[in-house]
């Protein structure tokens, strides 16, 4: 059944593509049916916690799958997200072009993601992780606008660099431990040298962190979501980023279980991601970009929980439960919010907050669904997000108390706690701002609306997503605690020793601090500094400095500099070689007369200076390619020799 869950969507997509490629709506039924079948098989896995399967000899080592724990939770969640977005797709893609292409890669990505979550070893995980990166690239470039093409280039660049870095780490690890099954890695990990272990860990963190949207590899995320179709954005934000988180959890809990150094190393980018994403969301004036930056911030929350789980060792059950449940909550939240954003775009054909303001004033279902997602992600009591954030906060507090009991300073981790609460407050601020703009502000005069603003199926998706969050938030012990306990074996942790009093005064105090911070930021930053007046109407200003774009300010100039240096180095080597060869020839034939160059050899041996731009570019590209290959080979050999 595991093999079927992975390969059924891929094979079905190949069969359906020639039948449905020329039809606008023919794809929707197969997409719903196939996604529903995978979801049904995932539910059956809940009763088969030890199921394993594989294809022996595939790619040399074979690919192996295993169910149970977090694997099954993630596989079921992914299939559920696919079913929901498929139901919401007909309205969004009505009249769009290249629907066949989109849904071909839509189903391929589902199969690849199931392969990631059900992987029994890191090599299987890597294979499907890379397949998923290439198939989901098509989602980003789907609309083929200049912005989509540029964002897709960034997405693919980050994915490829991350994947190759991860592969280098896996080769080093396989050379040291043999089989890359999680169990074998955990068994052999204590025997590895710290240098090798951390080299492998950092390589994996780069690869998985790139997909998760972790700082400083987050640059694709705020740019890909605004240009991708809304159903694709819901999947990119809600579940594809979790594939990176899943990999980081696997490496952290099986290769670095109980290693404080790794927990601290992971905590630094986690905290930066958490805070920076929230700050970027506060300053955004694009609806989907705000939600994308929000996803970046929430990934930081989850990774903070993973780092606390590692730091606490066998006592990290609370932090692990918080990470699992925030994965679940964030997926449901972003499903609802991005589908709602799709409804807005379908009617207004803009994502600029100045154009979409007031759109939902007379739309109660859209308003309630969006409000449910906003309150949940802000951590308001009574909603699912509050439960998971409470557990994450408890994990930080627990580690601070652990350090105090052992006479160690907990000051840096108290700072982490305050950044956690501040980020929660910023989350409330930008979600309150979005809700105010969409549902309370005055509509602009040019905003035209359709009589039927969304289809019944889209309304059903919003209703389901919006209802699940308070349902989970009001029944945490019956629902969320059980889900977390089921997933904990993948973290190598036991269930929580005590039931957490979610609505105790101490836990409500943390939420109250975040709410207070959020209210102040909303009032004085969102409504004062970032809001102006023009012609008697509110105008939402974009004041974020363009020079602070990490991609344009750092990464692209660095790549251009590397290309220039590589080309110069290649040209220097070529020139030195030419001087050596032809200098020697001239010395040997010194004094010779009437030197003859055979006509058939003239073009091969003689250098010709030509000014054609094409020849110069091709020569430069070839030099750069050879130089890059040589440098990578030298680095690989050096790393291999150092780590033998």
If asked whether residues 630 and 568 sit together in one domain, one would say yes
List, for residues 446-466, the tens digit of each pLDDT value.
766 666 778 888 889 999 998
Q: Which residues of 109-120 are buried (b: 16+ CB within 10 A; e: fewer)?
A: bbbbbbbbbbbb
Q: Is residue 206 part of a domain?
A: yes
If asked whether residues 494 and 573 sit together in one domain, one would say no
pLDDT value, residue 615: 39
pLDDT value, residue 596: 52
Helix (H, G, I), strand (E, B) or coil at 337: helix
If asked whether residues 514 and 583 sit together in one domain, one would say no
pTM: 0.84
| Lookup: tokens for 247 | 């990999």
Instruction: Please say which residue of 484, 518, 544 terminates a domain.
Output: 544
Mean pLDDT computed over 245-273: 90
If asked whether residues 637 and 525 sit together in one domain, one would say no
pLDDT value, residue 300: 93
pLDDT at 534 over 60: yes
Percent over 90 (pLDDT), the chain: 20
If asked whether residues 629 and 534 sit together in one domain, one would say no
If asked whether residues 495 and 622 sit together in one domain, one would say no
If asked whether residues 171 and 267 sit together in one domain, one would say yes
List, for residues 140-162, the tens digit of each pLDDT value.
888 778 888 888 888 888 888 88
Contact 276, 215 (CB under 8 A): yes
Neighbouring C-alpha atoms within 13 Å toward the C-beta of 285: 14
Q: Which residue has the higher pLDDT, 452 or 302?
A: 302
Q: Is residue 147 part of a domain?
A: yes
List, for residues 157-181, the tens digit of each pLDDT value.
888 888 888 888 888 888 888 888 8
Point out the least confidently predicted range of 98-102, 230-234, 266-270, 431-435.
Answer: 98-102
What sign has the CA pseudo-torsion 410, 413, 419, 422? Answer: negative
CA dihedral 534, 535, 536, 542 (to 10 degrees): -20
Residues 224 and 333: their CA atoms lie apart, in Å, by: 19
pLDDT value, residue 545: 77
- What lies within 8 Å, CB to CB, of 201 at 6+ separation is 169, 251, 255, 256, 262, 265
Mean pLDDT computed over 401-409: 83
pLDDT band per the 50, 70, 90 thresholds, residue 526 = confident
If asked whether residues 301 and 170 sit together in one domain, one would say yes
| Lookup: tokens for 210 | 């790139």
If asked whether residues 350 and 415 sit together in one domain, one would say yes
Number of domains comprising the chain: 2
Q: Is residue 92 part of a domain?
A: no
Q: Is residue 380 part of a domain?
A: yes
If asked whether residues 354 and 235 sit together in one domain, one would say yes
Element (H, E) at 490: none
Q: Is residue 603 part of a domain?
A: no
- What lies within 8 Å, CB to CB, of 299 at 6+ separation is 212, 213, 214, 241, 245, 273, 274, 277
Q: Is residue 418 part of a domain?
A: yes
pLDDT band per the 50, 70, 90 thresholds, residue 614 = very low
If asked whether residues 197 and 253 sit together in one domain, one would say yes
Residues 154 and 226: their CA atoms lie apart, in Å, by: 14
DSSP-derived secondary structure for 549-600? -HIIIIIHHHHHHHHHHHHHHHHHHHHHHHHHHHHHHHHHTTT--S----GG
Instruction: Please say which residue of 519, 544, 569 terminates a domain.
Output: 544
pLDDT value, residue 544: 78
- Domain enclosing residue 565, as ranges: 559-593+616-642
DSSP letter, residue 476: I
Q: Is residue 85 part of a domain?
A: no
pLDDT at 588 over 70: no
pLDDT at 190 over 50: yes
> Chain-wide mean pLDDT for the chain?
82
Q: Is residue 4 part of a domain?
A: no
List, for residues 193-220, the tens digit of each pLDDT value.
888 888 889 999 999 998 888 988 888 8
Q: How do beta strands 531-534 and 63-66 pair?
A: unpaired
Element (H, E) at 26: none
pLDDT at 593 over 60: no
If asked whether residues 571 and 539 sit together in one domain, one would say no
């Amino acid at each position: 059944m595991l093999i079927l869950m992975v390969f059924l969507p891929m094979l079905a997509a190949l069969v359906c593509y020639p039948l449905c490629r020329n039809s606008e709506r023919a794809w929707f039924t197969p997409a719903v049916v196939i996604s529903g079948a995978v979801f049904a098989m995932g539910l059956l896995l809940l009763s088969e916690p030890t199921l394993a399967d594989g294809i022996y000899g595939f790619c040399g080592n074979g690919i192996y799958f295993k169910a149970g724990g977090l694997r099954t939770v993630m596989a079921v969640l992914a299939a559920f997200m696919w079913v929901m977005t498929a139901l919401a797709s007909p309205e969004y893609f009505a009249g769009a072009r290249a629907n066949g292409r989109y849904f071909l890669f839509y189903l391929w990505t589902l199969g690849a993601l199931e392969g990631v979550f059900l992987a029994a070893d890191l090599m299987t995980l890597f294979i499907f992780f890379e397949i998923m990166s290439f198939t989901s690239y098509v989602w980003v470039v789907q609309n083929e606008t200049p912005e989509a093409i540029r964002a897709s280039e960034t997405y693919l660049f980050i994915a490829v660099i991350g994947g190759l870095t991860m592969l280098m780490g896996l080769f080093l690890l396989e050379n040291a431990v043999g089989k890359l099954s999680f169990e074998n890695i955990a068994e052999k990990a204590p025997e590895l040298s710290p240098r090798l272990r951390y080299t492998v860990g950092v390589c994996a963190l780069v690869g998985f962190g790139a997909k998760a949207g972790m700082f400083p590899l987050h640059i694709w995320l705020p740019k890909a979501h605004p240009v991708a179709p809304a159903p694709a954005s819901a999947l990119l934000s809600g579940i594809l980023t979790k594939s990176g988180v899943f990999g980081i959890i696997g490496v952290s809990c099986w290769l670095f279980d109980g290693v404080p150094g790794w927990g601290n190393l992971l905590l630094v980018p986690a905290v930066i991601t958490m805070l920076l994403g929230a700050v970027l969301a506060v300053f955004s004036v694009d609806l989907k970009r705000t939600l994308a930056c929000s996803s970046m911030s929430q990934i930081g929350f989850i990774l903070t929980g993973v780092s606390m789980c590692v730091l606490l060792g066998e006592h990290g059950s609370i932090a692990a439960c918080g990470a699992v449940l925030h994965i679940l909550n964030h997926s449901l939240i972003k499903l609802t919010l991005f589908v709602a954003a799709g409804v807005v775009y379908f009617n207004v054909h803009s994502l600029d907050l100045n154009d979409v303001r007031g759109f939902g004033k007379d739309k109660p279902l859209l308003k309630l669904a969006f409000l449910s997602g906003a309150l949940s992600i802000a951590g308001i009591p009574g909603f699912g997000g509050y439960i998971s954030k409470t557990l994450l906060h408890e994990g930080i507090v627990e580690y601070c108390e652990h350090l105090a009991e052992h006479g160690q300073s907990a000051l840096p981790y108290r700072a982490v706690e305050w950044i956690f609460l501040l980020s929660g407050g910023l989350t409330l601020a930008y979600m309150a701002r979005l809700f105010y703009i969409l549902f309370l502000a005055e509509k602009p005069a040019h905003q035209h609306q359709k009589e039927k603003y969304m289809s019944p199926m889209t309304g059903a998706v919003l209703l389901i997503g919006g209802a699940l969050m308070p349902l989970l938030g009001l029944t945490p012990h019956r629902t969320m605690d059980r889900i977390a306990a089921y997933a904990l074996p993948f973290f190598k942790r036991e269930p929580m020793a005590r039931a957490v009093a979610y609505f105790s005064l101490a836990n409500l105090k943390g939420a109250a601090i975040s709410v207070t911070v959020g209210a102040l930021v909303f009032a004085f930053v969102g409504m004062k500094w970032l809001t102006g007046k023009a012609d008697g109407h509110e105008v939402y200003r974009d004041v974020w400095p363009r020079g602070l774009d990490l991609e344009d300010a750092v990464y692209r100039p660095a790549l251009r500099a590397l290309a220039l240096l590589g080309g110069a180095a290649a040209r220097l080597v070529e020139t030195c070689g030419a001087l050596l060869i032809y200098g020697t020839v001239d010395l040997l034939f010194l004094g010779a007369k009437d030197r003859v160059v055979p006509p058939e050899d003239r073009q091969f041996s003689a250098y010709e200076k030509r000014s054609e731009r094409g020849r110069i570019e091709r020569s430069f590209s070839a030099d750069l390619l050879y130089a890059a290959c040589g440098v990578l080979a030298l680095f690989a050999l050096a790393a291999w020799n150092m780590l033998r």
